[in-house]
Amino acid sequence: MSMTGAQIIVDALEREGVQHVFSFPGGAILDLADALANSKKVRMILARHEQGAGHMADGYARSSGKPGVILVTSGPGATNIVTALANAHMDSIPIVALTGQVPTAAIGNDAFQEADVVGITRPCTKHNYLVKDIRELGRTLKEAFHIATTGRPGPVLIDLPKDIQQQTLENYAYPAKVEMRSYKPTIEGNPKQIELAARMIERAKKPILYVGGGAAASGAHKEVIALAEKCDLPTTTTLLGMGVFPETHPLSLKMLGMHGTAYANHAVHECDCLIAAGARFDDRVTGKLATFAPHCRNAIIHIDIDPASISKSVAAALPIVGDCRNVLKALLKEVKPGRHPEWRAQIEEWKKKYPLSYDRASKGLKPQYVIEQLYAFTGGDAIVTTEVGQHQMWAAQFWTTREPRTFLSSGGLGTMGFGLPAAIGAQVANPKRLVVNIAGDGSIQMNAQEFSVAALNNLPVKTLILNNGYLGMVRQWQQLFYGKRYVLTPLKRVNDPTLPTRKKPAKDLPEYIPDFVKLAEAHGCVGLRVTRKEDVEGAFKEMVKVKRPVVIDFLVEPEENVFPMIPAGKSVAEMIASHEDYTRGLA
């Protein structure tokens, strides 16, 4: 079969089952975009910024388990997806990025819109390619999808010179399989190691199951639940592992770490056996490494498909390299049932002593209240995305996640501007589900232009802005550790005493800028504003009644903080469990 390079790429996308491509065009990728217009199987969705396209592909992949695909042009088009690629790379999300490049003869000559995309993206992709021979195009595409979706998933980039897209290849055939001698991830765990892990779990008196995003990526949620129930394992998750173990389960400890529950952190601190399934011991989980899980250093079982992640931060007493689901299946066959009544009783005592709390009697509108009411109103039946900041942590704490792939948040990179485009990607992948983006007034402005994408594509994404007039998480750190010097964090008009040259704002000027209701309407969305607790439920009723994208601007109390909090580099013993703990510390 005779095909142009652009047609070969379209054929590859169709054969790989790709249905949606998130894109922003330009001269160096026009041949491929034009060829894709003829496809009856692949729909292109035009973003308003390349970073937005990248996060859309990311949200699509997280919520569906299928690889997300990006198409952008050369130079600034390609460099604008670097943040999205780094975000996906940190969180192990499968993405295939197709970037235009100047013609092969012009590479290295500083041609218009040329950039060394392979060099720039090498640190933030799992693998990348520059195609210089059309005969290599089919194999490269087949390898890219294979690499992105197997082993530890991640983003793969293919740089496509314009002339390669235009050339014609005779006798083209898409490869039926992948042959890569240098890339063979270990899928099955070592039987001897699994046997030793079973014995270690059986001996434990205070075991904890610690579940991360790797368990979500491998589809191991049923095995996680089965192991927890068989061995009576209290279970905590990372931010990316939320939903793998239902938070309605009596064994659930919810999230651990810097802003995790106090009872999860106490349980990990006191446990005598820690089973880490698809987690990488991130610094936001461990805090001060020297004091993390001090009673089980000889009983840490670490299951991960990426051997480079094992013992990278915390030494594993028993490493098991393999796909999380496969390893857990084998472990379930090997391990004997167990019960730990005293340990469970201790954990229940911690749950009663250290519940997630805030001032529920307050007459003001608390951000935690908004999230609790969202859960009550929806019954938890929604896909939730978040931006990054205080609202992200409140969402992790007060939204009860019950299913895998329904809580989508930027973990490793902490990317502001992630939530809205990720919600658009999730809505594309799940057209019949309610998709809600929980945002802050700072983060939402990073990629607010993508509201137009939701409106023009009839994607009824709902965005809740917890508007406190600050870059909230940075402001919280300034309050706790920098003497309340709120430098560069106010987003509203304030008479800031730390900046003596600032004039007092005129009385006739609005305090909160921008006006998110007007911004929503300008992008073709419905805008609502809520300032009182009693109006929250009514806003949610209006939100679901409208079959269009909706933005609700909640003017919440401006200096509310996220607790519990373990300060960076500190131990569980130094945790600020509540606002009361903080005020007592000041006294």
Give the three-state DSSP class for 204.
coil
> Given this model, what pLDDT does residue 582 score?
75
Q: Express each pLDDT in 504-543 by its tens digit.
A: 555 666 788 899 999 999 999 999 999 999 999 999 999 9
Write the CA distances from 346 to 137, 291, 296, 307, integer angstroms.
59, 21, 17, 35
Beta-carbon contacts of residue 170 (< 8 Å; ≥ 6 apart): 2
Residue in 19, 66, 113, 288 annotated catalytic = 113
Q: Express each pLDDT in 291-325 by its tens digit.
A: 999 999 899 999 999 999 999 999 999 999 999 99
> Given this model, what pLDDT does residue 280 score?
95
Given a contact cutoff of 8 angstroms between Cβ atoms, the answer to whether 140 and 180 are in contact is no
Take residue 483 and report the two structure tokens written for it. 């003497």
pLDDT at 587 over 50: no
pLDDT at 586 over 60: no
Name the E strands within 174-317.
207-211, 235-237, 252-255, 273-277, 300-304
- Let me know if 134 is exposed, middle or buried by CB neighbors in 10 A (0-12, 13-18, 19+): buried
Torsion of Cα atoms, 1 then 13 then 70 then 55, to 10°: 180
Residue in 41, 112, 481, 580 annotated catalytic = 112
Q: Does CATH place domain 367-574 in 3.40.50.970? A: yes
Residue in 473, 543, 565, 575 annotated catalytic = 473
Given a contact cutoff of 8 angstroms between Cβ atoms, the answer to whether 180 and 149 are in contact is no
**Token pair 């998709």 in the structure block, residue:** 435
Give ranges for CATH 3.40.50.970 in the chain.
3-169, 367-574
Please choose, from the candidates 254, 272, 277, the residue with its C-alpha nearest in 3D space to the C-alpha of residue 264. 254
pLDDT at 374 over 70: yes
> Given this model, what pLDDT does residue 503 score?
56
Given a contact cutoff of 8 angstroms between Cβ atoms, the answer to whether 4 and 138 are in contact is no
HSE-up of residue 258 (Cα within 13 Å, Cβ side): 20
Mean pLDDT of all residues in 138-154: 98
Beta bridge partners of 300: 274
Pairing mode of beta strands 3-4, 168-169:
antiparallel
Mean pLDDT of all residues in 465-489: 95
Question: Fold for domain 3-169?
Answer: Rossmann fold (3.40.50)
270 is catalytic: no
Span between the terminal Cα atoms of the chain, in Å? 79
Given a contact cutoff of 8 angstroms between Cβ atoms, the answer to whether 522 and 434 are in contact is no
- Let me know if 106 is exposed, middle or buried by CB neighbors in 10 A (0-12, 13-18, 19+): middle
Question: What are the backbone angles phi and psi of residue 408, rounded to the nearest 5°?
Answer: -115, 120
Amino acid identity of residue 163, one-letter, is D
pLDDT at 247 over 70: yes
**Token pair 């009385």 in the structure block, residue:** 507
Whole-number Å distance between alpha carbons of 117 and 112: 14
> Given this model, what pLDDT does residue 496 score?
53
> Given this model, what pLDDT does residue 306 score?
97
Angle at 92 between CA 401 and CA 265, to 5 degrees: 50
Residue in 3, 7, 50, 292 annotated catalytic = 50
50 is catalytic: yes
Give ranges for CATH 3.40.50.1220 in the chain.
191-353
Residue in 90, 101, 126, 162 annotated catalytic = 162
Neighbour count for residue 350 (Cβ, 10 Å): 18
Whole-number Å distance between alpha carbons of 3 and 143: 20
Beta-carbon contacts of residue 477 (< 8 Å; ≥ 6 apart): none
Q: What is the CATH number of domain 191-353?
A: 3.40.50.1220
Write the CA distances from 216 to 111, 239, 284, integer angstroms.
43, 11, 19
Q: Output the pTM of the full model.
A: 0.96
Handedness of CA 62, 64, 65, 67 (dihedral sign): negative
pLDDT at 502 over 70: no
Q: Express each pLDDT in 72-105 by its tens digit.
A: 999 999 999 999 999 999 999 999 999 999 999 9
Pairing mode of beta strands 462-467, 20-24:
unpaired
162 is catalytic: yes
Give me the count of residues in the chain: 587
Beta-carbon contacts of residue 209 (< 8 Å; ≥ 6 apart): 224, 227, 228, 233, 234, 235, 236, 245, 275, 277
